[in-house]
């Protein structure tokens, strides 16, 4: 490893570095649950102490949960966080000599909350923060000495050069990074690239610990790691699970303490996304105090995938799936719904909407789209009745392609508290279903998702012989078009140059604009791409702009 | 007025300033409607030219509409805005010698969009922008010469010292401020105070032109004005309407050109809010291409007020109101709904939900809250059926007090595209109703809102003899409690010190936390306070934090 600059940290520069044992505590903390988070931190620290660690590193804002949004501005919460930190430090005093570095909530002199870093040792708290310090005219960042080794500290919700460079040339032997970086497809590769790009400026190994778990739409994947001085991750924690990773660091660089340590599998977008949305749903259910979920099971691919994910997230016994056939429901759809129930063992129920529909139609006499929407809304009403009566969280099964063009019935199939696949394009819905079935085959278990749900042409079944392709282009055209228009902000002219039919481009652009009001009212769900329709795009509701040639 | 610093602007400092005629064009522009906005600007400029103005000042981002949110990042839109600006400049060349200063969209060298200022004269465009310039290392701000007078220019979405001070001591004789400041209760007084506070640093009159009109949740109230050198507004435009205000400025200070110019009425929170939400609804309807609205009319105060506002916003002929009685609806409620219809002349219809309810109950056999919610959801279903069939925008009648504690049925009374009173506490709902009736009496017109709707105890009428007070504290307790807890972020301990019952505080805090998921799915509506439940508070959906003693 790169030698520290002579003179900068006199206690450690001229002797050979003894092995320093660092514990990376990749924790799933819960926003606002100060006591619970402190308890979790105590457990991880105790395990680290038992394993002989000199220093325990925990993620950005681990004590408070992240992101706090408006909660960060409540003085009562700020005070409670500070108080909890000191109580925790007292509890941790039993681990004599152990240094614990964790993220919490600080407040600048002009009342701005920020992600602070606390260093805890022998019951004492020293609050450090490069960012907060910058706000109070001290931009140098904190450096601590542990067992004769000089460690720089920084904290960030995304790695950036600005967070890391203050430590360049300051003689630290490693940089501790408290991180809160949410999952998105391709993000792990991007983080690896970023760390290698920063490495020449940082010049020493980086010890990066990230949050894991779901918080509303964000899923933290963990992916904590230790890099060598060239910025290459040489030890990694498993992703999508809590983990305590032990690493020894000496002049030869970092290495895993556990001789059986296995590198996690290289990123596979489909596997990553399946795990991310399963974790997101599991944490949303758990952290909001639910024990069960309910969804409508049509026999189509979207609800079948959501049911499979729900079974993986909360267990089949916690999943209520309701078949709600109408006169337009095909026999194969009812069979496919029943087959999924059989394969997974979830709580399967049937409630025909035909009598409800007939009663409404006797009064309302609706035709066309209004009649189609009425069916979807009666199904929504049945699911909400079950939720009101028995308490489960309602899951909405809409995918990103449908949501982008408004191909869903607001207050119908759009009802719910959480929408697991709202950021998944339809093309990937099929990929996820096939991936999940392949895992089942590998494990010698029944495939949860009926093959026919995957292979049949998609249909809302709200009128006789209806197919999605009556209203929408094929998804292998629509999805790249949406990716270009929304994900890459390509203009109409560029999209036509890309080879998309001009009339189709115009129609899709019009559908996107006309459906923003429905997306605003759609339930939250896990963000897995860089262009989630809620967090990233910020389309105005009222906008007269239409791309023109 | 304060003399300019000698030497800084040599053409104008030593001679007495001749009267400069400035036109303030308080325009209602439409986000994304470049052609329409350009046309509107042309009309205002033509009127200003005819009235002998030397310079026409238009608001921040008037050409593009404001706020653009994600639209500002689309390169195709950025280019189209630039192209439209140059076409507009060409059209305006007919007004020889006239200087037009207007806000548009610029992009910094590192691709960040910003509110730019364009100066147009004799067909030429000179783009200036203190903020954009600051981003490209030029923080001096623009100064233009018009008819021998030196004018500083700045643009801001809210006045701040940083926007104004670059002009201090630079010898300008007035400061032109392109503004985009949304309405909120008390904001006009705050703006007045702010301008007086800045005056010593600015030292010259300020010519402030603000947008007017609604854009999603924001309502711009206009309130354009010209101050003297002490920062006191001495000429003001009327609020909540488009207006061309002509002012002559010379060494004696600014004065209105129109001898009949009247100062707008001093701020009256109730009158201001009524006008703001009426303008917000009118613009949402118009800018989104609707011609009619529909709402459920229960006979209660909330829907009665929304109906009255709707009649004022779009005309009674454009308002469909549906009485949807159930077996629990009181006779007086049906009568009150009919009385409002009679007084206003709106399109009144009746659709009993009893047969729909009975049919659903024969299948679902719901009890308690689930049965109450079923009624509300069947009403939502009827309104959506009318919207799907006839095209009107559905209005949701929920008020802020209910929304804050979740006292509404999601997918029931919460359905809609726009919620006119979602930021109005229940206490103010009654004030607005009385204010509107008083205006009707003054005008010799029938009161739109039945007295009994105002005076009777509020009830959702979802079970026999139900009253809001069964579930909630009186609104004269609840509203101040919500104001303290959410508006002022007071802690539980502070609220108890304020005299609120501790158990009530705990219950309300719990209700607020448990209902965030419903608020997220609630329709957009006009923001009139500094703590709107969507834009301002940013509560996490998932949060274990509860205030403790």
Mutant choice from A398, A521, A534, A546 vs B, greatest count of B C-beta within 10 A: A521
In the prediction, which pLDDT does B201 show?
Answer: 85
Whether B386 shows a pLDDT value over 60: the answer reads: yes
Q: Which residues pair with B105 in a beta bridge?
A: B115
Residue of A nearest to B518 (CA): A417
Three-state DSSP class for residue B246 = strand
pLDDT cut 70: percent of chain B above it: 92
Chain B residues with beta carbon closer than 8 angstroms to that of A547: 76
Any idea which residue has 């706000």 for tokens? A135
Asked whether the predicted pLDDT for residue A132 surpasses 50, the reply is no
> Region B30-50: what's the mean pLDDT?
98
pLDDT digits (tens, 9 = 90+) for B289-312: 999 999 999 999 999 999 999 999
Residue A31 has its nearest CB partner, among B367, B415, B542, at B542
Chain B: residue whose CA lies nearest to A538 = B70
What's the gap in Å between the CA of B6 and the closest CA on chain A? 38
Chain B positions in Cβ-Cβ contact with residue A40 (cut-off 8 Å)? none
More confident call, B384 vs A260: B384
* Contact assignment for A374 to B381 by CB distance below 8 Å: yes
pLDDT interval class at B380 (50, 70, 90): very high
Beta carbons of A215 and B542 less than 8 Å apart: yes
| Contact yes or no for A68 and B540 at CB 8 A | yes
| Alpha carbons B62 and B152: distance in angstroms, whole number | 19
Q: Which residue of B has its CA nearest to A283?
A: B542
Cβ contact A540–B75 (<8 Å): no
- What is the per-residue pLDDT for B154? 87
Residue, of A432 and A463, whose pLDDT is higher: A432
Read off the DSSP letter of residue B316.
Answer: G
Q: According to the model, what pLDDT value does residue A168 have?
A: 57
Q: In this complex, how many residue pairs, one in chain A and one in chain B, have their CB atoms less than 8 Å apart? A: 204
- Say if residue A146's pLDDT is above 80: yes
**Both structure tokens of A33:** 């649950």
Task: Select the residue from B326, B378, B541 to test the A interface by mutation, using most A Cβ atoms within 10 A.
Answer: B541
B260 vs B73, which has greater pLDDT? B73
Report the pLDDT averaged over residues A488-503.
Answer: 96
Work out the minimum CA distance from A19 to partner chain B, whole angstroms: 40
Q: Is A44 helix (H, G, I), strand (E, B) or coil?
A: helix
Among the partner-chain residues B216, B385, B489, the one whose CB lies closest to the CB of A541 is: B216
pLDDT: is B47 or A108 the higher one? B47
Interchain pair B71, A544: CB under 8 A:
no
Q: Which of B66, B284, B418, B542 to mutate to test the interface with A (most CBs of A within 10 A)?
A: B542
CB contact under 8 A, B74 and A489: yes
> Which chain B residue lies closest to A394 (C-alpha atoms)?
B517
pLDDT at B6 over 90: no
Q: What is the pLDDT of residues B480-523, one digit of tens each?
A: 999 999 999 999 999 999 999 999 999 999 999 999 999 999 99
Interval A227-236 mean pLDDT: 95
Query: Where is average pLDDT lowest: A141-155, A447-461, B49-63, B74-88?
Result: A141-155
The reply to whether residue A288 touches residue B415, judged by beta carbons under 8 angstroms, is no
Cβ-Cβ contacts under 8 Å, B489 against chain A: 73-76
Q: What is the pLDDT of residues B235-273, one digit of tens each?
A: 999 999 999 999 999 989 999 999 888 888 888 999 999
Residue A8 pLDDT? 38
Greatest CA span in chain B, whole angstroms?
90
Q: Return d(Cα A323, Cα A504) in angstroms, integer.
A: 34
- Is pLDDT of A9 > 50? no
> Inter-chain contact B70–A360, Cβ cutoff 8 Å?
no
Instruction: With beta carbons under 8 A apart, name residues in chain A contacting B389.
Output: 366-367, 370
Q: Other CB atoms closer than 10 Å to residue B478's CB: what's the count? A: 24
Q: Do A381 and B385 touch (CB under 8 A)?
A: no
Determine which of A52-56, B214-218, B286-290, B328-332 has the lowest per-residue pLDDT on average: B328-332
| Pick among A490, A542, A546, A548 to test the B interface (most B CBs inside 10 A) | A542
Mean pLDDT of the region B183-189: 92
Q: Residue A355: closest CA among chain B residues belongs to which residue?
A: B359
The reported pLDDT for the residue numbered B15 is 58
With CB atoms and an 8 Å threshold, state whether A71 touches B380. Answer: no
pLDDT tops 60 at residue A11: no
Which of A356, A373, A521 is closest, CB to CB, to B359?
A356
Nearest CA in chain B to A517: B417
CB contact under 8 A, A30 and B74: no
The minimal CB distance from B377 to the residues A71, A381, A542 is found for A381
Model confidence at B59, pLDDT cuts 50, 70, 90, reads very high
* Structure tokens that stand for A327 in this block: 């006169």
Average pLDDT, chain B: 91
**Chain B residues within 8 A of A389 when measuring between CB atoms:** 366-367, 370
Q: What is the ipTM of this complex?
A: 0.93
- pLDDT of B11 > 60? The answer is no
Residues of A in contact with B68 (CB under 8 A): 540
Which residue does chain A place closest to B360, by CA atoms?
A356
What does the mean pLDDT of chain A come to? 91
**CB–CB of A355 and B359 under 8 A?**
yes
**Pair of tokens at residue A187:** 């993000």
pLDDT digits (tens, 9 = 90+) for B457-490: 888 888 888 888 888 899 999 999 999 999 999 9
Whether B537 sits inside 8 A of A70 (CB atoms) is yes
- Residue B215 clears pLDDT 90, i.e. is over it: yes
Distance (Å) from the alpha carbon of B363 to chain A's nearest alpha carbon = 8
The first and second tokens of residue B472, run together, are 């909630």
What's the token pair of residue A384?
């909400």
Sequence length of chain A is 549
* For chain B, percent of residues with pLDDT exceeding 90: 77
For range A413-422, the mean pLDDT: 98
* C-alpha distances out from residue A248 to A46, A208, A261, Å: 18, 14, 13
Determine, for residues B76 and A547 on separate chains, whether the beta-carbon distance falls below 8 Å: yes
Residues of chain B contacting A283 with CB distance shorter than 8 Å: 542
3-state secondary structure at position B186 = coil
Q: Look at A491 and B74 and tell me if their CB atoms are within 8 Å.
A: yes
- Residue A137: is its pLDDT beyond 50? no
Annotate B319-365 with DSSP letters as a single string. Answer: EEEEE---TT--HHHHHHHHHHHHHH--EEEE---HHHHHHHHHHH-
Q: Tell me which DSSP letter residue B484 carries.
A: I
In A, minimum Cα distance to B385 occurs at A370
| Residue in chain A lying closest to B370 (CA) | A388
- Which residue is it, tokens 């701005």? A112
Q: Measuring CA to CA, which residue among A289, A277, A358, A291 is closest to residue A320?
A: A291
Cβ separation A32–B544 shorter than 8 A: yes
Distance CA A85, CA B324 (A): 55
DSSP B270: H
Chain B partners within 8 Å of A76 (Cβ): 489, 491-493, 547
Q: Do A542 and B30 touch (CB under 8 A)?
A: yes
The end-to-end CA distance of chain B, in Å, is: 57
pTM over 0.90: yes
Helix extents (H) in A238-367: 269-287, 301-314, 331-344, 354-364
Task: Indicate the burial class of A435 (C-beta count within 10 angstroms; 0-12, 13-18, 19 or more).
Answer: middle
User: Residue B12: is its pLDDT beyond 50?
Assistant: no
Residues with Cβ within 8 Å of B38's Cβ and at least 6 positions away in sequence, in order, are B63, B84, B87, B88, B91
Is pLDDT at A413 greater than 90 in this prediction?
A: yes
**Residue A370 is nearest to which of B76, B388, B411, comparing CB atoms?**
B388
Chain B interface disruption, residue of A32, A524, A531, A545, most B CBs within 10 A:
A545
Residue A299 has pLDDT above 80, yes or no: yes
pLDDT (0 to 100) of residue A108: 84
User: Closest-CA residue in chain A for B549?
Assistant: A76
Lowest mean pLDDT among A184-193, A212-221, B511-520: A184-193
Contact at CB, A384 and B411, closer than 8 angstroms: yes
């Amino acid at each position: 490893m790169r030698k520290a600059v002579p003179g900068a940290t006199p206690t450690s520069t001229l002797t050979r570095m003894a092995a320093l044992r660092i514990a990376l505590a990749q924790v799933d903390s819960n926003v606002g649950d100060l006591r619970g988070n402190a308890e979790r931190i105590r457990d991880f620290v105790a395990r680290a102490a038992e394993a002989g660690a000199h220093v325990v590193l925990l993620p950005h804002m681990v004590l408070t949960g992240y992101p706090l949004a408006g909660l960060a501005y409540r003085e009562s919460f700020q005070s409670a966080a500070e108080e909890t930190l000191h109580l925790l430090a007292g509890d941790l005093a039993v681990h004599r000599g152990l240094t614990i570095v964790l993220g919490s909530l600080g407040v600048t002199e002009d009342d701005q909350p920020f992600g602070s870093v606390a260093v805890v040792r022998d019951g004492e708290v020293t609050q450090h923060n490069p960012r907060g310090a910058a706000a109070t005219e001290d931009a140098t960042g904190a450096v601590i000495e542990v067992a004769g080794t000089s460690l720089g500290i920084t904290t960030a919700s995304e790695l950036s050069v600005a967070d890391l460079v203050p430590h360049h040339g300051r003689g630290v032997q490693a940089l501790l990074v408290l991180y809160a970086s949410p999952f998105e497809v391709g993000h792990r590769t991007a983080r690896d690239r970023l760390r290698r790009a920063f490495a020449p400026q940082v010049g020493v190994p980086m010890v990066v610990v990230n949050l894991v778990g779901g918080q509303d739409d964000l899923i933290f994947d963990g992916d904590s790691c230790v890099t060598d001085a060239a910025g290459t991750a040489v030890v990694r924690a498993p992703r999508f699970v809590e983990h305590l990773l032990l690493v020894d660091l000496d002049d030869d660089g970092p290495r895993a303490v556990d001789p059986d340590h296995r590198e996690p599998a290289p990123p596979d977008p489909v596997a990553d996304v399946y795990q991310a949305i399963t974790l997101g749903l599991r944490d949303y259910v758990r952290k909001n105090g639910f024990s069960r979920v309910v969804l409508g099971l049509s026999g189509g691919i979207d609800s079948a995938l959501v049911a499979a994910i729900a079974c993986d997230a909360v267990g089949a016994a916690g999943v209520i799936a309701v078949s709600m056939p109408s006169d337009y429901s095909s026999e194969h759809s009812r069979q496919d719904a029943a087959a999924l129930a059989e394969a997974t063992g979830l709580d399967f129920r049937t409630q025909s909407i035909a009598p409800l529909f007939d009663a409404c139609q006797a009064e309302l006499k609706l035709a066309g789209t209004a009649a189609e929407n009425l069916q979807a809304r009666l199904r929504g009403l049945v699911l909400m009745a079950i939720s009101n009566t028995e308490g489960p969280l309602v899951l909405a099964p809409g995918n990103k392609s449908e949501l982008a063009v408004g191909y869903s019935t607001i207050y119908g199939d759009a009802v719910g508290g959480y929408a697991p696949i709202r950021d998944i394009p339809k093309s990937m819905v099929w990929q996820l279903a096939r991936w999940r079935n392949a895992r089942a085959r590998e494990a010698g278990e029944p495939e949860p998702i009926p093959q026919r749900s995957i292979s049949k042409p998609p249909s809302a079944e709200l009128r006789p012989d209806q197919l999605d392709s009556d209203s929408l282009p094929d998804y292998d055209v629509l999805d790249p078009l949406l990716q270009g228009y929304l994900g890459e902000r390509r203009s109409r002219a560029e999209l036509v140059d890309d080879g998309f039919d001009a009339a189709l481009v115009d129609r899709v652009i019009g559908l996107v604009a006309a459906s923003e009001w429905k997306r605003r009212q759609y339930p939250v769900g896990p963000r897995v791409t860089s262009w989630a329709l809620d967090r990233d795009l910020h389309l105005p509701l009222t906008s007269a702009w239409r791309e023109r040639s």
